[in-house]
Chain A
Amino acid sequence: MRRLKGVLHLAKSAVQHDNRKLNVREIIQQKKKSRSVNNYTEKLIPKILFGIAAISVLTTIGIVLTLITETIAFFKDVPFIDFFTGTELKPLGENAVFGVLPLLTGTIISTLIAMLVAIPVGLMTAIFLSEYASEKTRKALKPLLEILAGIPTIVYGFFAFTFVTPLLRSFIPGLEPTNILSPGIVMGIMIIPMVASLSEDAMSSVPNAMREGALALGATKLEVTWKVVVPAAISGIIASFVLGISRAIGETMIVTIASGSSKNFTFDVTQSMQTMTAYIVEVTGGEAAAGTTLYYSLYAVAMTLFVFTLIMNLLAQYISRRFREEY
């Protein structure tokens, strides 16, 4: 019996041994298979990812193509010169006139007002945070400015319409209920955090040795700031202004709500003016039928807006690259 058991055991272990051999073979086989699967995925994945990355490029192409094709259709109806030199904009009715100048002045004036607020306040905030504030103060103030930057523009629109306009009307009697002044100011407030944080980044990257050098020569902090730090950081500061302008040009909801839809060609800031962005919202809100001149005018205005902001963005990139001083 014992012998029999021994034989059985031997046989068992032989079978097991054989099994193990088989297992190893199988494992190798499987490994080979999975490696070929792996090879396949290794080649496939970069292609898929490239396709995904290309979507952002496709988006740009999509924007440019839709704008260009419909704008060309628009200029078949309305001559190019008339559009850019026309001071009259009456998109509705039978004798529709399409001149973009009222929208352009509205956009430029609102941007100017916004920058008159955002540039001085933003720059002074940046100087205070970067040069004067202690580490503790800066850590307390920066998140608050970030909150200001994170508030949706629609909330600023509500604020301009229901608070700033009535406030301004109490000491500017001629101010209309919808006017370009109030949304311009509020837009400036909205842009302050952006100008401040970009300018502060530029000033913080000025090396301390330069400040110390000026201080050692007996300069006061203001002189160090104004004659050393600001000139050294000027490319970043100007770039932040240009980006702020671009943001103001593209801003939509504040002006749509608080500046009304009057298409007068005027330079009077107490009156209602329409910006390019507000025109787009008004026309699409009315569900313009596809194929009409009114519908195509949407694209011509959007194209103008797109070109304006693109130039500003490229300009900002160029300034910060070209005039950067490396220390």
Chain B
Amino acid sequence: MKYVDSEQVHKKMGSRLLANNLAKTLFFMATLFGLVVLIVLIYRVLADGLGWINLDFLMNRLSTDPERAGIWGAITGTLWLMLVVAPVTMILGVGTAIYLEEYAAKGRISSFIKTNISNLAGVPSVVFGILGLTVFARALDLGSVVLAGGLTMALLVLPVVVVASQEAIRAVPQFLREASYGMGATKWQTIKNVVLPAALPGILTGVILALSRAIGETAPLVVIGIPALLIPVPDGIFDKFTILPVQIYYWTVDSALVAEYANLAAATIVILLIVLFAMNSIAILIRNKFQKRY
């Protein structure tokens, strides 16, 4: 008795192999699709914007005249914003991670905080904008200044820093902590002198990635109320400000009125992408160079 009818199998083999090869090509094309879009996108932005980038464009203030418009205000605004976001999100994120990994008992409270953070990561950024508008800009009466925007942004990217720091702290091997306790160090001394230095590269990578997310975020700040045309350059954290993505937004929307605004938007995108690329490269560099393997 034959269990397998080899003739039948042979008959079907050709079409099965053909299907396999067709599918493989299809899957490969699908993978390429994303990359082709990436190339087209970057090509379009460069083609539209590269000719507009020069020293004047970087150093001039905003203007309604496309020939004279520059992004110096948006660049300084972005820097001031990062000056608020970086320390706030780092202190909050690393503090939360240390608490969750080193102090919190594995129980309700810690799992509640963890669930809360993962849900916070899924809240749309525009809702964070509403929070910033209501609490920081209106209730605390800060107005749409750097501090209000920075605090909102810090809360928005907080989950990124918490998760990255948690992973970095968890990766520090237990024997390092035990050695420190063995020498008579207290828990906090151990964390401060042993765990944090060992986890620092991972934490820094997370912070840089969070900042690069914050630099590209637009919606929350538009909601807080950044003016479309702000001539003065911000001078501190209590000044009104504008940032690169918001400037791109207004220029893109207004390109229906003045065609050259599309070029200004593209040129600003080139600058923004260069900044993002540099930050991500630094993050990868830190991760590869300083990460110790135990």
In the complex, the chain B residue whose C-beta lies closest to that of A63 is B131
Is B116 among interface residues, defined by CB-CB distance under 8 A? Answer: yes
Whether A141 contacts B269 by the Cβ 8 Å rule is: no
Whether B99 contacts A66 by the Cβ 8 Å rule is: no
Supplied contacts A162-B255, A193-B34, A256-B219, 14 more A-B pairs, CB within 8 Å:
A53-B100, A53-B104, A56-B162, A70-B134, A121-B33, A128-B28, A144-B35, A158-B252, A177-B256, A222-B19, A253-B245, A280-B130, A280-B223, A309-B124
Contact with B along A36-66 (1 / 0, CB 8 A): 0010011001101110111111011011001
In the complex, the chain A residue whose C-beta lies closest to that of B35 is A144
Whether B99 contacts A132 by the Cβ 8 Å rule is: no
Which residues of chain B come closer than 8 Å to A243, judged between CB atoms? Answer: 122
A-B pairs, 9 with minimum CB distance? A250-B124, A152-B216, A52-B95, A124-B30, A128-B27, A313-B122, A49-B99, A252-B219, A53-B99
Whether A155 contacts B188 by the Cβ 8 Å rule is: no
Give chain A's interface secondary structure class: helix
Known contacts A66-B131, A302-B127, A309-B123; is A42 also within 8 Å of B188 by CB? yes
Q: How far is the CB of A53 from chain B (nearest CB, A)?
A: 4
Q: How far is the CA of A317 from the CA of B31 in the complex (A)?
A: 27
CB contact between A155 and one of B9, B45, B129, B256 (< 8 Å): that residue: B45
Q: How far is the CB of A33 from chain B (nearest CB, A)?
A: 15
Known contacts A67-B130, A155-B248; is A148 also within 8 Å of B37 by CB? yes
Whether A55 contacts B92 by the Cβ 8 Å rule is: yes
In the complex, the chain B residue whose C-beta lies closest to that of A178 is B256
Is A293 among interface residues, defined by CB-CB distance under 8 A? Answer: no
Q: How far is the CA of A49 from the CA of B248 in the complex (A)?
A: 39
| A-B pairs with beta carbons under 8 Å apart, 22 shown | A46-B103, A55-B96, A56-B158, A56-B162, A57-B112, A63-B131, A124-B26, A128-B30, A154-B269, A155-B216, A155-B273, A158-B45, A158-B248, A163-B41, A192-B33, A220-B17, A256-B249, A287-B225, A302-B126, A310-B122, A312-B122, A313-B119
Q: How far is the CA of A198 from the CA of B41 in the complex (A)?
A: 24
Contact with A along B216-236 (1 / 0, CB 8 A): 111100111100000000000
Whether B35 contacts A253 by the Cβ 8 Å rule is: no
Whether B218 contacts A253 by the Cβ 8 Å rule is: yes
Contact with A along B96-115 (1 / 0, CB 8 A): 10111001100000001100
A-side interface residues toward B, CB under 8 Å? 38, 41-42, 45-46, 48-50, 52-57, 59-60, 62-63, 66-67, 70, 120-121, 124-125, 127-129, 132-133, 141, 144-145, 147-148, 150-159, 161-163, 177, 189, 192-193, 196, 218, 220-223, 225, 243, 246, 249-253, 256-257, 277, 280-281, 284-285, 287, 290, 298-299, 302, 305-306, 309-310, 312-314, 317
Chain B count of residues within 8 A CB distance of the other chain: 85
Give chain B's interface secondary structure class: helix
Contact with A along B177-218 (1 / 0, CB 8 A): 000000000111100000000000000000000001001111
Q: How far is the CA of A251 from the CA of B124 in the complex (A)?
A: 7
Known contacts A148-B34, A220-B17; is A59 also within 8 Å of B44 by CB? no
Q: How far is the CA of A148 from the CA of B222 in the complex (A)?
A: 24
In the complex, the chain A residue whose C-beta lies closest to that of B100 is A53
Whether B130 contacts A66 by the Cβ 8 Å rule is: yes
Which residues of chain A come closer than 8 Å to B91, judged between CB atoms? Answer: 52
Is B276 among interface residues, defined by CB-CB distance under 8 A? Answer: yes
Whether A306 contacts B266 by the Cβ 8 Å rule is: no
